[in-house]
Amino acid sequence: MFSGSIPALVTPFRDGAFDAPAFAQLVDWQVKEGTSALVPCGTTGESPTLSFDEHYRVIDCCIEAAAGRVPVIAGCGSNDTATAIRHMRHAQASGADAALIVAPYYNRPSQAGMIAHFKALADASDLPIVVYNVPSRTSCDISAETMCEIAAIPTIVAVKDATGDMARVTIHRAGAGHDFCQLSGNDDLWLPHAVMGGVGCISVTANVAPRLCADFAAACAAGDWARALTLHDRLFDLHKAMFSDTSPGPVKYALSRVHDWFSPEVRLPIIEASAASRALVDAALSTAGVI
């Protein structure tokens, strides 16, 4: 259902407020550069700091700016099942194509609780669901066996896998079927994930280098592994630099270097990228040929 280079979009702020004009410009630039889908209100979009009204305004702005040119996968996850359902209902009413649902964080549900959570979401809405498994942030892992079980739910169509466990691509393919869409959640592991059978990446780096990431995705899809490796090497320092400080500080700084209309402003408890991080970002942008 989804494939290619899919940025986990940052949420631009200016003077403490959501900068809707900058966000619309970002979305338009992304589409024109070859991005294949968009994810507003993910972790990179600082969703934990957004009020409900802001969260929904960001989703609505993304859908409006995308104007049907690419799918919108709206971030709707929460560690409260009822809140995730509320987010999904708004996203569906606004015209989103799918919902990105992170594993319930902090609560640390059992595998049975995880299954019950996703079944409740599917029962409450027929919006397609992309499951996001990122144990380093949530402190809980959706096991491969659980993933294969919830993949049998008709509206659960994809996974964003940020476990770093490449074996899961094969396990998921065997247990969930070849039609189950597997997306990498780690830019630096996008290449091995693709070799194992993944079809794309929900990417941080694609925020700032959308054309390069789209070209890389196209090379992987074509099985042109030599070109994919060349592009991977060109992007690798940028992948690392995006996490040289707490995300999304570095990627917002990078975007401010590429576009004069973009502010590096973040919201507490995140702070702007440190001087050391900015130096790494600048060097990586130069190596990648972005600036």
pLDDT band at 204 (very low <50, low <70, confident <90, very high): very high
Which pair of structure tokens corresponds to residue 144? 């491969």
Whole-number average pLDDT of the chain? 98
Tell whether omega for the bond before 248 is within 30 degrees of 0, i.e. cis: yes
* Structure confidence by residue, pLDDT tens digits, 173-185: 999 999 999 999 9
For residues 220-249, average pLDDT: 98
- Is residue 132 among the annotated active site residues? yes
257 belongs to a structural domain:
no
Tens of pLDDT along 115-149? 999 999 999 999 999 999 999 999 999 999 999 99
Pairing mode, strands 200-203 and 13-14: unpaired
Is cis: bond before 269, omega within 30 of 0?
yes
Burial of 15 (0-12, 13-18, 19+ CB in 10 A): exposed
Q: Which two tokens stand for residue 6?
A: 């899919």
Residue 282 belongs to a domain: no
Place of tokens 């997306």: 183
Q: How far apart are CA 119 and CA 124, in angstroms?
A: 9
Say if 279 falls within a structural domain.
no
Domain of residue 110 covers 4-222
Whether 188 is covered by a domain: the verdict is yes
Give the per-residue pLDDT at 225: 98
Alpha-carbon torsion (184, 186, 188, 192), positive or negative:
negative
Check 56, 160, 252, 253 and give the catalytic one: 160
Answer yes or no: is 267 within a domain: no
Instruction: Return the residue matching tokens 């004069």.
Output: 260
243 in any annotated domain:
no
Residue 241: the pLDDT is: 98
Instruction: Kindly name the residue from 56, 105, 132, 253 that is annotated as catalytic.
Output: 132
E strand intervals along the chain: 4-7, 13-14, 17-18, 73-75, 98-102, 129-133, 156-161, 181-184, 200-203
Cβ atoms of residues 195 and 225 within 8 Å: yes
Q: What is the mean pLDDT of residues 205-230?
A: 98
- Alpha carbons within 13 angstroms on the beta-carbon side of residue 162 total 23
For the whole prediction, is pTM greater than 0.95? yes
Confidence of residue 9 (pLDDT cuts 50, 70, 90): very high
- β-partners of residue 149 are none
Rounded distance between C-alpha atoms, residue 125 and residue 180, angstroms: 19
- Count H helices and E strands in the chain, helices first: 12, 9
Q: Is the pLDDT of residue 1 over 90?
A: no
- pLDDT above 70 coverage of the chain, percent: 100
What CATH number corresponds to the domain at position 166? 3.20.20.70
Q: Evaluate whether residue 256 is within a structural domain.
A: no
pLDDT in tens, 250-264: 999 999 999 999 999
Q: What is the mean pLDDT of residues 50-72?
A: 98
Q: Is 290 within a domain?
A: no
In single-letter form, the type of residue at position 121 comes to L
At 2, the pLDDT band (50, 70, 90 cuts) reads very high
Q: How many domains in the chain?
A: 1
